[in-house]
Amino acid sequence: MAGAGGKPKAAEGPPSNFIRSIVADDVRSGKHARIVTRFPPEPNGYLHIGHAKAICVDFGIAGEFGGVCNLRFDDTNPAKEEVEYVESIQEDVRWLGFDWGENLFYASDYFERLHDWAVDLIRGGKAYVDSLTPDEIREYRGTLTKAGRNSPYRDRPIEESLDLFARMRAGEFEEGTHVLRAKIDMASPNVNLRDPALYRVRKAAHHRTGDRWCIYPMYDYAHPLSDAIEHVTHSLCTLEFADHRPLYDWCIENLDVPSRPRQIEFARLNLSYTVMSKRRLRELVADGLVSGWDDPRMPTLAGLRRRGFTPEAIRDFCERIGVAKADNLVDVALLEHCLREDLNRRAPRTMAVLRPLKVVIDNYPEGAEEELEAVNNPEDPAMGKRTVPFSRELWIEHEDFREVPPPKYFRLSPGTEVRLRWGYLIRCTGVVKDASGEPTEVHCTYDPETRGGNAPDGRKVKSTIHWVSARHAVPAEVRLYDRLFSVEAPEGPSWKEHLNPNALETLERCWIEPSLAGAAPGSHWQFERLGYFVVDEDSRSDRKVFNRTVSLRDTWARIEKKGF
Ligand code: ATP
Ligand code: MG
C-alpha cells in the first residue's frame, strides 16, 4: 500500500506490508521461536507523531505475531538526556495504548558489556585507538567521491591500543584527544564503514550511571549490540539508517553476541505544516515560541493529547498511512479526518457561543424559563438526551446575525426567521447598535407553536443556529488553533520564520451551556457547528478552558471524493 495514505481501511484486518511479510516468513520457516522487536527512543525530547508511527509498527508487529516489544532507552549520549524525557516517553507510549510489560531497558545498563566487547575487538585487531584530532579525522575520512586515508595510528600495536583505551576509561585524557575506531575500510564507498568511531571521551555525568563512565559508546555500536543482548529478532527503524546497516551487521558478525538481530528500515513519517525533529521541537520550546512540549500546537504526543487527539485516532492514522520504503509528506488533513471519525462517535453534542451577541425575545415572558430536550449524539442513541434551559435573553454567535445580509445568507437578519437548535423558530424584528454601528442587541419574537423546532403549518426556515440562555450560561475561555506553520514543509535555516502567527487565538468571553459546568479535564465535546473541543488542564472550578481540537469541516473527505 502506498505511504501516501488515504486508502480506506481494509475490512478484514490490517493490510499487509513488506515488514509483516518478512516477519511472517521468518515465523513460517521456524527461524525464530519468538518475535522480539524494540522501540528505542533517545531520551532527549518528547515523542512526536512520527514516533507514534514507529511505536505502532514496533509494538504492532510484535503483538500480531504473539511476541514482545521492548521499550529501550538509547541513552548513550549523556549531554542531551534528561529524566523528564524518560518519564514523558513512558507516559506517552502507555497513553497510545501499548504495554512493554517487564521489558523496560536502558542501553546504559549494557555499558560494561559494550566496553568488554570493545576490548575484544581491539584484541582481535578489529579496533584501534586513534589519536588524530577531530579535524584530522574528518579530513582523513575523505568524501562521498574521494576515498579516505588510513590514520597513522591505524596499525599501532594492539597492546598500545589496549593500554590507551584503558586510560581513556580511567579519565586520563581530555575529550577529542583519543577515540576508539573500528578497523574496517577507509576506502569503502559507504562512508559509515571508513573506520567509524566506537567510543569517545565525554566528561559528562549520565542520568543513570552518574560519573562512573567518561567514555561513551556511539549509537552505531551500541544499538546492534543492545539488540543482540535483548534477543531482538527484527530491529525496525527508519530509512536514514539503511546506510548504517552494514556497520550494524559488522558489529554483530565480529563479536560473540548472544543473538543475531536483523535491521529493517521503513519510511519515516513527515506531516505537512509542522516539523518533526526533536532538535527543532526543542528549539521551539527553548526559544519560548510555544508554551512547552505539550503546547496544543505541537506535533508531540503530549501536545496532541492536550489538544484533544485520542490514541484511537492516532493509531487509526498510523494504520492508514501504512508502512512503505519511500519517504513522503502526509497531508495533516488525513490525521484530522481520523480524529473527526473517532470524536464523532465519542463526543456528546453541546452548545456554546464563542463570540457572543445578545438576542432578546420580546414576546417571551420576562422571568419565565423552560427546559428543552436535546439529543446528545444523533450517531449514538445510547448517549441519551439532556435538557437545555431556555429564557427570554440568549447568546448567539456574532456572525449568525447580519443587519444587511449578503446574498445566500440565511441566518438571522431583520425580517428573517431561523430555527434555534432544539428550540423555537424566531423572527428578527430589530437591532440595537452602539455608537460605532456595531450591533449590541438583536430583537426577535418567537412562535410558541414551534417548540422543538418545527412549525405546525409546515413552513420552512433555511437556517438553524446554536444559542445559550444568557441567564443560565456559564463563562468559559476557548482557545482556537490553526497549523503551527504557514507553509507545508518548513525547511532551510529560516524555518522558524514560517511559524504561523495566528496558530493560537484565545477567546476569553465565551458562554457554554450549563450542562458543561462540570466537564472533566480531558473530556471531549462537540460544540454544535463549531467543532470538537476538549477541557484543558488550565480549567478552574469557576472557569472552564476549552481547546478546539479540530473544526467540523473535513477537507480530507472532500479530497478523497474528488480523487486528489
Ligand atoms: P528526531 O529526528 O525527531 O530526533 P530520532 O530518530 O532522533 O527522531 P529517536 O528517539 O532516536 O528519535 O527515535 C526512536 C525511534 O523512532 C527510532 O527507531 C526512529 O527511527 C523512530 N522515528 C523517529 N522519527 C520518526 C518519524 N518521523 N517517523 C517514523 N519513525 C520515526
Ligand atoms: Mg536519534
CA distance 111 to 275: 33
Burial class (CB in 10 A: 0-12, 13-18, 19+), 192: middle
Residues 473-481, mean pLDDT to the nearest whole number? 98
pLDDT digits 0-9 by tens, 7-26: 434 445 566 899 999 999 99
Per DSSP, helices labelled H in 171-296 are: 219-229, 245-253, 278-286
Q: Does the beta carbon of 476 lie inside 6 Å of ligand 1?
A: no
Q: Which pLDDT belongs to residue 536?
A: 98
Instruction: pLDDT band for 6, please (50, 70, 90 cuts).
Output: very low
More confident of the two residues 201 and 79: 201
Q: Which ligand is nearest to the CA of 276?
A: 1
The rounded Å distance from CA 329 to ligand 1 centre is 16
Residues 182-186, mean pLDDT to the nearest whole number? 98
Probe residue for ligand 1, chosen from 51, 281, 323 as the CB with the greatest number of ligand atoms within 8 Å: 51
| Closest ligand 1 atom to 55 CA | 16
Residues 117-131, mean pLDDT to the nearest whole number? 98
Q: Which of 94-108, 315-329, 462-476 has the lowest mean pLDDT?
A: 315-329
Q: Does the beta carbon of 50 lie inside 6 Å of ligand 1?
A: yes
Topology agreement, domain 270-351+467-564 and domain 358-464: yes
Q: Which pLDDT belongs to residue 564?
A: 44
The rounded Å distance from CA 230 to ligand 1 centre is 20
| Closest ligand 1 atom to 236 CA | 18
For residues 372 and 390, is the Cβ–Cβ distance under 8 A? yes
Q: Which pLDDT belongs to residue 60?
A: 97
Q: Does the beta carbon of 276 lie inside 6 Å of ligand 1?
A: yes
pLDDT digits 0-9 by tens, 483-508: 999 999 998 999 999 999 999 999 99
For residue 63, the number of C-alpha atoms closer than 13 Å in the C-beta half-sphere is 12
Residues 513-530, mean pLDDT to the nearest whole number? 96
| 292-297 own/partner pairs: CB under 8 Å, 24+ apart | 293/45, 293/46, 293/88, 294/46, 296/479, 296/481, 296/536, 296/547, 297/481, 297/484, 297/503, 297/504
Q: Does the beta carbon of 502 lie inside 6 Å of ligand 1?
A: no
CA distance 461 to 449: 14
Eight-state DSSP code of residue 533: E
Eight-state DSSP code of residue 206: B
Nearest CA to ligand 1 atom 22: 51
Q: Does the beta carbon of 278 lie inside 6 Å of ligand 1?
A: yes
CATH of 270-351+467-564, one of 2.60.40.10, 3.40.190.80, 2.60.40.1840, 2.40.240.10: 2.40.240.10
For residues 324 and 330, is the Cβ–Cβ distance under 8 A? no
Burial class (CB in 10 A: 0-12, 13-18, 19+), 222: buried
Q: Which ligand is nearest to the CA of 242?
A: 1
Percent over 70 (pLDDT), the chain = 96
Orientation angle between helical segments 311-321 and 83-96, nearest 10 degrees: 80
Q: Which of 82, 335, 51, 24 is nearest to 207 (CA)?
A: 82
The rounded Å distance from CA 84 to ligand 1 centre is 18
Nearest CA to ligand 1 atom 2: 277
Above 60 in pLDDT, residue 326?
A: yes
Provide the residue type at 321 as one letter: I
The rounded Å distance from CA 40 to ligand 2 centre is 9
Probe residue for ligand 1, chosen from 73, 77, 238, 314 as the CB with the greatest number of ligand atoms within 8 Å: 238
Q: Which pLDDT belongs to residue 4?
A: 38
Question: For 400-457, what is the HEC assignment?
Answer: HECCCCCCCCCCECCCCEEEECCCCEEEEEEEEECCCCCEEEEEEEECHHHCCCCCCC
Q: What is the largest CA-CA distance in the chain?
A: 103
pLDDT digits 0-9 by tens, 87-121: 999 999 999 999 999 999 999 999 999 999 999 99
Question: What cell numbers appear for 152 in the block?
Answer: 597513522
Q: Which pLDDT belongs to residue 554?
A: 76
Residues 270-289, mean pLDDT to the nearest whole number? 95
Provide the residue type at 103 as one letter: N
Q: Does the beta carbon of 306 lie inside 6 Å of ligand 1?
A: no
For domain 358-464, give the CATH number: 2.40.240.10
| Closest ligand 1 atom to 240 CA | 20
CA distance 517 to 328: 44
φ, ψ of residue 265 in degrees (nearest 5): -105, 145
Residues 308-313, mean pLDDT to the nearest whole number? 98
Q: Could you give the angle at the alpha carbon of 466 between the alpha carbons of 463 and 468, nearest 5°?
A: 150
Q: Does the beta carbon of 277 lie inside 6 Å of ligand 1?
A: yes
Q: Which pLDDT belongs to residue 11?
A: 43
Q: Where are the domains of the chain?
A: 112-218, 270-351+467-564, 358-464
Above 50 in pLDDT, residue 545?
A: yes
| Closest ligand 1 atom to 269 CA | 28
Domain 112-218 has CATH 3.30.420.60: no
pTM equals 0.93
What average pLDDT does the chain have? 94
CA distance 70 to 381: 41
Q: Which pLDDT belongs to residue 559?
A: 66
Instruction: pLDDT band for 82, please (50, 70, 90 cuts).
Output: confident
Q: Which of 11-20, 171-180, 241-250, 328-337 has the lowest mean pLDDT?
A: 11-20
Intra-chain end-to-end CA distance of the chain, in Å? 17
CA distance 528 to 530: 5
Strand partners, 73: 106
pLDDT digits 0-9 by tens, 446-462: 999 999 999 999 999 99
Orientation angle between helical segments 18-28 and 49-64, nearest 10 degrees: 20
